[in-house]
């Protein structure tokens, strides 16, 4: 039992770490342009190259390219009924849902206010889905490369278009191809057909039609293997099917689940080491790597311990409890509330909380995946996050709030860079020395940019959550009572702002097709609000660090001296860890207490 | 600006050709030639060549002759995968599981507790208070409302009751000025309180009647026994009988999967269902139950596998595959 629970998370962390070393070497080799392209690729590179760029040109190209991508995505989705590969005549999504989906996929968020199996034709899955899966993943990685070039004071930040091309074609396509073959062999469909009708083995078990005939089961298929590989590798997380990596076609076996989980980890892991290799600061990047790995391991252990090692508290017995609630009208100023003892239901829970878990992946696979998916801002799920044990769900939220436990491709390392700059600044203030990073003095302008980039995130989570919790927008959408309902809203905005994409699925955010007679009542408000949050939280924290790195890089290097804070030591690791934990706790402890912690400590079941 | 725009367009065009054209197409060719079974959805055919289902997608089984997959929040609709999304703190989760358990749970002597639940229910007392159905509706407002909305027949029954009890409705409107024209669901709790007083120890239950001509009709009647009472009131019974030792049911037997389409159950769950399946086949085929049990047990063992060869979890079986085996060996179960 011990091995069956803990081997899987350990094997995943170890494999991803081992793979990071060779992969980072390849990454640095490609991004530094040391390869000799095939003649045809060389021709394309010449066509798309617009020459060396400074930070303004680089960010400008990034924004313009994203605008083009946005328009392309919008066109594909809004023309769905008239485009090919749509034999089931899937019609148009609601306009707000199209906006949300396009924003979400373009930014590598993949928060889904629709369900692929119900609302997308195979044409949309390929030309909207797969396109964005590849390209949005390349944007963060390119931004990180530009930042590295700036930090090492290169003559230019490189060329944005060439960077995207390199990442997609030399990196993602070959790796995705290998993973897609694995998923295909394990059982993911790979066809341009849309669905099959099957008579069930026990005819009529699906019910009968009005004419009294046995209903068939409709099996939705499509180019799943191709989609799935890049969905995970690009830490996109937007599923082909509504239930994402839990769906047996996206993730058919325990082995496919291992590779599914591994796929989302390898690039975020390798990028940290690429950072060190390209800057020639390998020891520094190893220190960062260890800090990230430690934090990630903590989130995984937390979720597995509270979700797999503990039963679902809805079914267990609870002692009677007495709560003292402040009440100004009572004589003592307090009101006491007694919750009677509850006896357990006769359910064998030795495999942990099984509500919303699949059996084929393995005992701790759901909990492990839940923690990892937010650590690396993937957002795919192979278990229902809404049904995780209350306190276990805290760790996925922490992963999104801090967003640097490896984080997304490029973006995670950029977030970590912000924490590094602020950590060094704080340390510098404490000992009264000018803070320096990589020999460059950190000035007021850099700190301002770092703080702006860092504060966008809590703003975009806390303010909308507060607004929605106080209005019908939120209260009509939640599907679970009290603290968990609050968690549902908090999770949705955390996921949007962290560009994560996982969700507490009970939240009513799906409008569906434009002519759906019974949409979720507040779907439009959610579509627009999370869509805007997604865009703000994507581009500000991407461009501010590019500017910051450019300013830092343009400074003169000061020589390494006795008073220089070393960034490749254990002390620095502790400093960095402390900075992350203190800043994170200051920003998010109050909402954590209102959501998952309150649910855990409060009576279960709660009302109803 | 214009240069960036034109470069963006050409970059996007080249990438679309590669990632939407070449990449999926080459996978499609490999899939259709080397892995055609997987690439087309792992579909199984019966002896006539008709597609019966996908190896990877759960389908429902209602007959006792078959093993049953896990309950599905998607009603086994493979076009709309879904999880229950019920939080542990949501009483709806505990209630759903308690209802599954009520009719099947056995005490330590192997006796069903359902008859005990019915007897206790008919005493019409919960925690020393009279009118158990009224107590239930007051404690669990949302369940009372859910009952009204669960079936059009339930709604119609409450509507008819509202017509017969105009004074109760008027009183409700007076107490709740915000709902001047209450619907059936608004009055759910009041309905059950009133029903409980008029029918002590009984619950409104759908009962099927067949008349002389063989026509069937479903009517709602006040019943003190039956599967509704066994399932709905099992949790309340449990609260008053915490000391009774009950045999535990496998966790995956009562919990829904994340996709709603999980085709597997644990071997433990299959063993739990084995008695039911074997007894039923034995009765159908007029053979000795132990003999059938041995044969089916062998089928289970043959089908069972474990995640990552047992390193990551316990053994499970594929429900459709085992049921196809049963069908092949024992034929079609009688209608």
- Find residues 213-232 of chain B whose CB sits inside 8 Å of chain A: none
Report pLDDT digits (tens) over A223-274: 999 999 999 999 999 999 999 999 999 999 999 999 999 999 999 999 999 9
- List B51's β-bridge partners, or say none: B45
B324 and B184, same structural domain?
no
Residue at which a domain ends, from B240, B267, B295: B240
- Asked if the Cβ–Cβ distance from B16 to A115 is below 8 Å, we say no
**Structural domain includes residue B24:** no
Detail the DSSP E strand segments found in B155-202: none
Q: Indicate if B180 and B265 belong to the same structural domain.
A: no
A208 touches chain B (CB under 8 A): no
List, as own/partner pairs, every contact residues B178-184 make where C-beta atoms lie below 8 angstroms and the sequence separation is at least 24, other chains included: B184/B148, B184/B155, B184/B158, B184/B159
> Tokens 């209005």 map to which residue?
A471
Distance CA(A385)–CA(A357), nearest Å, equals: 9
Distance from CA of A511 to the nearest CA of B (A): 14
Question: With contact defined as beta carbons under 8 Å apart, do B84 and A384 qualify?
Answer: yes
Radius of gyration of chain B (CA): 27
Task: State CA A304 to chain mean position distance.
Answer: 19
Contact at CB, A201 and B18, closer than 8 angstroms: no
Distance CA A184, CA B28 (A): 10
Q: Prior bond to A605 cis, omega within 30?
A: yes
Three-state SS for A389? coil
The answer to whether A117 touches A81, Cβ cutoff 8 Å, is no
Average pLDDT, chain A: 94
Residue B273 structural domain: 51-84+256-330
Q: Contact A118/B56, CB-based, under 8 Å?
A: no
Instruction: Pick A356's closest partner by Cβ from B77, B101, B256.
Output: B256
Looking at the domain assignment, is residue B25 inside a domain?
no
To test the contact with chain B by mutation, choose from A6, A173, A219 the residue with the greatest count of B C-beta atoms within 10 A, namely A219
Best mutation site among B49, B312, B317, B331 for testing chain A: the one with the most A CBs within 10 Å? B312
Q: Is residue A418 within 8 Å of A498, Cβ to Cβ?
A: no
Handedness of CA B162, B165, B168, B170 (dihedral sign): positive
Q: What is the pLDDT of residue B251?
A: 96
Pairing relation of β-strands A347-348 and B249-250? parallel
Shortest CB distance from A358 goes to which of B38, B242, B259? B259
CA–CA separation, A110 and A379 (whole Å): 7
With beta carbons under 8 A apart, name residues in chain B contacting A508: none
Averaged pLDDT of chain B = 93
In a domain, B271, yes or no: yes
For chain A, how many structural domains are there in total? 1
Distance of alpha carbon A420 from alpha carbon B284, whole angstroms: 72
Question: Given a cut of 80, is residue A563 above it in pLDDT?
Answer: no
User: Closest approach of chain A CAs to the CA of B278, in angstroms?
Assistant: 17
In a domain, A408, yes or no: yes
Q: Are residues B235 and B263 in the same domain?
A: no
B106 shares a domain with B235:
yes
User: Is B41 a domain residue?
Assistant: no
pTM assigned to the model:
0.95
CA–CA distance from A582 to each of A392, A534, A586, A587 (Å)? 21, 25, 6, 9
- Domain limits at A510? 2-201+217-314+353-601
A residues 38-67 closer than 8 Å to B (CB): 44, 47-50, 60-61, 64-65, 67
Helices assigned H by DSSP within A376-443? 394-402, 411-431
The answer, for A510 touching chain B at a CB cutoff of 8 Å, is: no
A327 part of contact set with chain B, CB < 8 Å = no
Q: Cβ of B101 and A347 within 8 Å? A: yes
Last residue of a domain, one of B188, B213, B240: B240
List, in order, residues 6 or more apart from A593 with CB less than 8 Å away: none
Whether A340 is in a domain gets the answer no
A243 touches chain B (CB under 8 A): yes
Residues B102 and B211 in one domain: yes
Q: Are residues B188 and B75 in the same domain?
A: no
Give yes or no: residues B55 and B124 share one domain: no
Q: A553 near A438, Cβ under 8 Å?
A: no
On whether both B151 and B190 belong to a single domain, the answer is: yes
Whether residues B151 and B223 fall in one domain: yes
- Interface TM-score (ipTM) > 0.90: yes
pLDDT for A281 beyond 90: yes
pLDDT of residue A543: 93
Distance CA A368, CA A324 (A): 36
pLDDT tens-place string over residues A337-366: 888 899 999 999 999 999 999 999 999 999
pLDDT at residue A608, rounded to an integer? 67
8 A C-beta contact, residue A608 and residue B92: yes
Short-list B284, B287, B305, CA closest to B295: B287
B270 in the same domain as B158: no
Q: Is residue A346 part of a domain?
A: no
Based on the fold, state whether residues B149 and B164 are members of the same structural domain.
Answer: yes
Collapsed DSSP state (helix, strand, coil) of residue A436: strand
- Asked whether residue A326 is domain-assigned, the answer is no
The answer to whether position B10 is within a domain reads no
Q: Are residues B128 and B224 in the same domain?
A: yes
Rounded to the nearest angstrom, the minimum Cα separation between A450 and chain B is 27
Which residues in A lie closer than 8 A to residue B142 (C-beta atoms)?
608
Q: Render pLDDT for B11-57 as a digit per residue (tens, 0 to 9).
A: 999 999 999 999 999 999 999 999 999 999 999 998 888 999 999 99
Alpha-carbon torsion (B251, B253, B254, B260), positive or negative: positive
Q: Is the minimum CB–CB distance between A252 and chain B shorter than 8 Å?
A: yes
Residues in chain A: 608
Please, where are the H alpha helices in A128-168?
131-151, 160-165
Does B303 reside within a domain?
yes
B247 CB-near residues (< 8 Å, 6+ apart): A346, B105, B106, B107, B108, B110
Number of domains in chain B: 2
Check B19 against A131: CB less than 8 A apart: yes
A98's enclosing H/E stretch is: helix A95-106
Which has the minimum average pLDDT: A320-324, B24-28, B46-50, B213-217?
B213-217
Assess if residue A330 is contained within a domain.
no
Contacts with B252 from chain A: Cβ below 8 Å: 351, 354, 359
Chain B residue whose CA is closest to A317: B242
Q: How far apart are CA A475 and CA A472, in angstroms?
A: 5
What pLDDT, on the 0 to 100 scale, is given for residue A337?
85
Last residue of a domain, one of B192, B215, B240: B240
Q: What is the pLDDT of residues B160-207, one digit of tens each?
A: 999 999 999 999 999 988 888 888 899 999 999 999 999 999 999 988
> Which percentage of chain A shows pLDDT scores above 70?
100
Q: Do A366 and B246 touch (CB under 8 A)?
A: no
A242 near A250, Cβ under 8 Å?
no
Closest CA to A384 of A398, A396, A366, A401: A366
Q: Which DSSP string do the residues of B271-300 spell out, in sequence order?
A: HHHHHHHHHHHHHHHT--HHHHHHHHHHHH
B22, with CB counted inside 10 A (0-12, 13-18, 19+), is: exposed
Contact: B85, A69; criterion CB under 8 Å: no
User: Is residue B108 in some structural domain?
Assistant: yes
In a domain, B59, yes or no: yes
Pairs of CB atoms within 8 A across A/B: 415
**Of all residues in chain B, what percent carry a pLDDT higher than 70?**
100
Burial call B205-241: b when 16+ CB within 10 Å, e when fewer = beeeeeeeeeeeeeebebbbbbebbbbbbbbbbbeee
To test the contact with chain B by mutation, choose from A66, A347, A490, A492 the residue with the greatest count of B C-beta atoms within 10 A, namely A347
């Amino acid at each position: 039992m011990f091995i069956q629970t803990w081997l899987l998370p350990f094997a995943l962390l170890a494999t991803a770490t081992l793979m990071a070393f060779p992969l980072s070497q390849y990454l640095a080799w490609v991004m530094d342009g040391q390869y000799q392209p095939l003649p045809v690729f060389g021709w394309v590179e010449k066509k798309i190259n617009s020459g060396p760029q400074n930070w303004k040109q680089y960010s400008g190209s990034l924004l313009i390219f994203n605008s083009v991508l946005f328009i392309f995505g919008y066109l594909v989705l809004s023309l769905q009924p008239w485009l090919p590969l749509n034999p089931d005549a899937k019609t148009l999504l609601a306009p707000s849902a199209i906006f949300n989906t396009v924003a979400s996929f373009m930014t590598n968020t993949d928060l889904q206010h629709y369900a692929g199996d119900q609302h997308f034709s195979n044409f949309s899955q390929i030309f909207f889905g797969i396109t964005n899966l590849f390209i949005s993943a390349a944007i963060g990685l390119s931004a990180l490369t530009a930042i590295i070039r700036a930090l090492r004071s290169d003559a230019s930040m490189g060329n944005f278009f060439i960077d995207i091309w390199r990442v997609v074609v030399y990196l993602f396509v070959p790796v995705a191809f290998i993973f897609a073959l694995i998923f295909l062999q394990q059982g993911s469909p790979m066809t341009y057909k849309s669905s099959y009708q099957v008579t069930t083995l026990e005819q009529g078990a699906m019910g009968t039609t009005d004419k009294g005939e046995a209903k068939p089961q409709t099996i939705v298929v499509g180019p799943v293997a191709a989609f799935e590989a890049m969905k995970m590798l690009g830490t996109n997380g937007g599923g082909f099917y509504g239930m994402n990596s839990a769906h047996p076609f996206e993730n058919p076996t325990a082995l496919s689940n291992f590779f599914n989980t591994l796929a989302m980890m390898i690039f975020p892991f390798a990028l940290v080491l690429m950072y060190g290799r390209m800057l020639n600061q390998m020891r520094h990047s190893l220190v960062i790597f260890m800090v990230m790995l430690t934090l990630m391991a903590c989130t995984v252990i937390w979720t597995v311990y509270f979700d797999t090692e503990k039963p679902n508290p809805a079914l267990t017995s609870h002692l009677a409890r007495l709560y003292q609630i402040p009440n100004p009208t009572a004589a003592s100023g307090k009101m006491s509330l007694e919750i009677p003892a509850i006896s357990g239901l006769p359910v064998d829970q030795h495999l942990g909380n099984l509500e919303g878990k699949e059996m084929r992946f393995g005992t701790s696979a759901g909990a492990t995946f839940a923690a990892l998916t937010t650590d690396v801002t993937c957002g795919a799920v192979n278990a229902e996050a809404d049904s995780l044990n209350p306190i276990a769900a805290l760790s996925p939220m922490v992963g999104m709030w801090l967003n640097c436990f490896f984080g997304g491709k490029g973006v995670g390392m950029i977030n970590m860079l912000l924490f590094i700059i602020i950590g060094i600044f704080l340390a510098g203030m404490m000992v009264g020395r000018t803070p320096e990073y990589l020999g460059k003095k950190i000035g007021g302008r850099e700190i301002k940019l770092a703080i702006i980039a860092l504060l966008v995130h809590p703003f975009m989570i806390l303010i909308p959550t507060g607004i929605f919790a106080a209005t019908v927008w939120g209260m009509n959408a939640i599907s679970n009572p009290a603290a968990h309902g609050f968690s549902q809203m908090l999770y949705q905005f955390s996921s949007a702002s962290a560009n994560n994409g996982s969700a507490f699925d009970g939240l009513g955010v799906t409008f569906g097709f434009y002519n759906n007679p019974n949409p979720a009542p507040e779907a439009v408000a959610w579509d627009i609000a999370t869509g805007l949050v997604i865009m703000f939280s994507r581009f500000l924290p991407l461009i501010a660090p590019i500017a910051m790195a450019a300013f830092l890089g343009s400074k003169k290097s000061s020589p390494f001296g006795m008073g220089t804070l070393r960034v490749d030591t254990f002390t620095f690791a502790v400093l960095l860890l402390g900075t992350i934990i203190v800043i994170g706790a200051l920003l998010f402890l109050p909402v954590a207490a209102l959501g998952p912690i309150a649910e855990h400590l409060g009576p279960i079941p709660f009302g109803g | 600006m214009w240069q960036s725009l034109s470069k963006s367009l050409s970059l996007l065009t080249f990438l679309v050709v590669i990632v939407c054209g070449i990449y999926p197409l080459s996978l499609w060719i490999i899939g259709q030639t080397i892995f055609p079974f997987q690439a087309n959805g792992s579909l199984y055919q019966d002896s006539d060549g008709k597609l019966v289902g996908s190896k990877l997608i759960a389908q429902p089984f209602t007959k006792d002759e078959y093993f049953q997959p896990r309950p599905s929040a998607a009603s086994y609709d493979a076009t709309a995968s879904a999880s229950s999304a019920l939080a542990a703190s949501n009483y709806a989760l505990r209630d759903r599981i308690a209802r599954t358990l009520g009719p099947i749970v056995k005490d330590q002597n192997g006796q069903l507790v359902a008859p005990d639940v019915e007897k206790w229910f008919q005493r019409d007392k919960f925690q020393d208070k009279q009118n158990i159905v009224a107590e239930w509706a007051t404690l669990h407002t949302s369940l009372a409302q859910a009952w009204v909305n669960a079936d059009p027949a339930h709604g119609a029954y409450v509507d008819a009751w509202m017509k017969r009890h105009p004074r109760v409705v008027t009183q409700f409107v007076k107490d709740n000025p915000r709902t001047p024209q209450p619907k059936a669901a608004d009055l759910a709790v009041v309905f059950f309180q009133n029903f409980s007083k008029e029918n002590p120890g009984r619950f409104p239950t759908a009962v099927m009647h067949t008349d002389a001509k063989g026509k069937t009709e479903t009517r709602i009647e006040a019943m003190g026994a039956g599967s509704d009472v066994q399932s709905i009131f099992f949790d309340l019974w449990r609260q008053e009988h915490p000391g009774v030792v009950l045999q535990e049911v496998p966790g995956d037997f009562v919990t829904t999967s994340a996709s709603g389409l999980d085709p597997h159950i644990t071997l433990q769950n299959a063993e739990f269902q084995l008695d039911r399946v074997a007894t039923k086949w034995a009765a159908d085929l007029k053979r000795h139950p132990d003999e059938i049990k041995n044969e089916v047990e062998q089928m289970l063992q043959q089908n069972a596998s474990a995640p990552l060869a047992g390193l990551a979890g316990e053994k499970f079986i594929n429900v459709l595959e085992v049921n196809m085996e049963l069908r092949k060996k024992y034929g079609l179960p009688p209608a």
